[in-house]
Amino acid sequence: MVVGLGSGSTARLAVRHIGELLRAGELTDIVGIPCSTTTEAVAQEYDIPLTTLEAHPVIDLTIDGADEVDPALNLIKGGGGALTREKIVAQASKREIIIVDESKLSPILGTTWAVPVEVVPFGYGPQQRYLESLGAVVTLRLDKSGHPFHTDQGNIILDCNFGPIAQLPELAHRIKQRTGIVEHGLFIGMATEVIVAGIDGIRHLRRDT
């Protein structure tokens, strides 16, 4: 089985558990494709066999997290900065299972979270102005030392607060029209299931097909 290994704190818990099951012999015949270098390091620490999308272009199941989830199971992702790799893995996956706590549920995307947009560092100023022309309040993401945050691909992230987004597909399309913009954190129609942890227990949501 080919498993996509998501990034972020929640997904890393799942990666560690997979590694523990493998070590105990309760799980066998698994290869993983990590969504970030951080996840790759965790997988290697737990001796999870890794592969690539070139060797296995179809992923059976991916386990990942999200920053915001709407009732149709559309997502905002990229709070950890791995949105491009996460989307590549999600698009290659037969099943995309998202694990969140109930605070991540939202009536409409953009209510509680800005949309991360990954851009190439060269000439990012015009990309910022373009995103502002679409209605966003744009903030350059910084790392802990106060320098621009760089993704695993060496790009930077502009966090774009559009407020509640009424027209997701239209906005997603308009963001990608601009050269220099690599990817955005709107994951539309990609999650097949969302597992939600709350004070009343666990809920398992499935996307209508």
Q: How far is CA 22 from CA 26, 49, 87, in A?
A: 6, 10, 26
Cβ neighbours of 102 (radius 10 Å):
12
Question: Could you confirm whether 102 is annotated as catalytic?
Answer: no
- 3 state DSSP class of 136: coil
Annotated catalytic residue within 86, 96, 118, 183:
86
Q: What share of the chain is helix, strand, coil (3-state, %, to 5)?
A: 25, 30, 45
Cβ atoms within 10 Å, residue 31? 16
Read off the amino acid at residue 68: E
Sign of CA pseudo-dihedral 85, 66, 69, 99? positive
Kindly list the distances between the CA atom of residue 103 and the CA atoms of 162, 197, 207, in Å, as whole numbers in the listed order.
20, 9, 19
DSSP bridge partners of 194: 98, 205
2, with CB counted inside 10 A (0-12, 13-18, 19+), is buried
Catalytic residues: 86
